[in-house]
Amino acid sequence: MAREQAGANARAVELITLSEGRSVQALHRGPYETEPETIAAVDALMERERLTMNGRHHEIYLTPVTEQRPGQEIETILRHPVWAVDP
């Protein structure tokens, strides 16, 4: 389905399986442009809890990407797979 929706950009669509285990995530509500503020809050929590990245950051779009416009309020789950740093 994603390839059909991508049309001419279908070569850019790929399926990735993530086996991340423990994660830190946040629900971002607001325009796409303010997402870095939410990611900064996740990074601060990770630092306080002595967690480090253990995989790729990824996003789960609750507002369909096709409906997103600059400045529009959207909902996106921002997720970092993590592991604990030894104390």
**pLDDT-derived band of residue 9, with 50, 70 and 90 as boundaries?**
low
5: CB partners within 8 A, 6+ apart = 66
For residues 19-46, average pLDDT: 92
Q: Tokens at residue 9, please?
A: 């950009």
Q: What angle do CA 72, 77, 81 make, to 5 degrees?
A: 145
Please give the model's pTM, rounded to 2 decimal places. 0.71
Residue 24 pLDDT > 90: yes
Residue 25 pLDDT > 90: yes
